Amino acid sequence: MSEASLIGLFVATVSFGALLYLAALGELLAEKAGILNLGVEGMMAIGAVTAFIAGVELKNPWAALVIAMVSGAALASVHGFFTVALGAEQVVSGLSLTILGLGLAAYLGKDYVGQPPGAELVPVQWSGLSDLPWVGPIIFKQAPIVYFALLMGIAVSLVLANTRLGLALRAAGESASSTDSAGHSVLGLRLGAVAAGGALAGASGAYLTLSITPQWAEGLTAGRGWIAVALVIFGAWRPGRVAWGALLFGGTLALKTRLQTFGVDFSPIILSMLPYILTLLILLVISVRSRKRPSPAPAGLGFAYRREER
């Protein structure tokens, strides 16, 4: 195992980690407000395809990123409308959103399959820092969206923990009726959280087509949206822990294609089961411990809220 290939593994780990982190942060926001959104896979696909199309047409990667985030938020708002405004079943609406997102992405992107990218987000050079051994390539020579993911993680943590908005949002996820009594709009908070979550999932998808695999094909998201859903639980609904989980799960994605080059005789398919199995184990640990301390899951997660419910 050469040094270069080991560095390559870590570079890819951080890169995949950021991809998963963006989508998981979005899911975390929605779940903190009490809305389970199982449409992550669909929102990522929409982000990926709109970013690619915008890149080809506008030749500007930043405009492409913004368009992907707006598209992700717009698609998420469909889920928001049905679950928050109408109080429909979140599970059913979320799964329908995945179907809608994957279908729309395939429809929009059918003329762009196999085309060369019009714009890419290339790795940033941090003058001297990028040339450092090991940390240079691994941390200081990543695509700009990796740093964006980090910034978003810090921002989400700070907003949730230290602002009135964050407090209100968490309250909407814990106890909607008391949040309502306190004079906050549960409807507005939840719709906003779901849309913001969609924007982050869209950014995650954009990272795929603007940087990781700069082209569009159906099925490009390859189930990574489900890993993002798992990550939120794995990280116990905390942005910091989710970040470490994202690196771990990103590591399994990075290792999957490299097992053979490392001469390890282990099935990459079995390795790709790991994130899900780890999440199941963590769930068990959480629930065994929650006999002594409260579960980290938002208490109102999954429940619709209506005023004057009879």
Query: Would you tell me which residues interact with another protein (CB under 8 A)?
Result: 36, 38, 78, 82, 86-89, 91-93, 95-100, 102-107, 110, 218, 223, 226, 229-230, 233, 267, 269-270, 272-273, 276-277, 279-280, 283-284, 287-288, 297, 302, 306-310
**Minimum distance of another protein from residue 278's CB (angstroms):** 10
For another protein, the closer CB: 78 or 168: 78
CB 47 within 8 A of CB 203: yes
**Nearest distance, CB of residue 225 and another protein, angstroms:** 11
CB of 283 to another protein, least distance (A): 5
Closest CB 202 distance from another protein, rounded Å: 18
Interatomic CA distance for residues 246 and 19, integer angstroms:
8
The answer to whether 210 touches 61, Cβ cutoff 8 Å, is yes
CB of 158 to another protein, least distance (A): 27
Judged by beta carbon, residue 75 or residue 146, the one nearer another protein is 75
CB of 305 to another protein, least distance (A): 11
Beta bridge partners of 216: 113
- What phi, psi does 163 have (nearest 5°)? -115, 160
Nearer to another protein, 161 or 280 (CB): 280
Q: How is residue 50 written in tokens? A: 């709109």
**Closest to another protein by CB, 163 or 290:** 290
CB-neighbour burial class of residue 79 (10 A; exposed 0-12, middle 13-18, buried 19+) = buried
Instruction: Tell me whether residue 138 or residue 301 sits nearer to another protein (CB atom).
Output: 301
For the record, the structure tokens of 294 come out as 């409260």
Residue 113: φ, ψ to 5°: -65, 130
DSSP H or E run through 3: helix 3-32
Nearer to another protein (CB atom), residue 31 or residue 251: 31
Cα 66 from Cα 200, distance rounded (Å) = 10
Please name every residue paired with 113 in a beta bridge, in sequence order, or none if there are none: 216
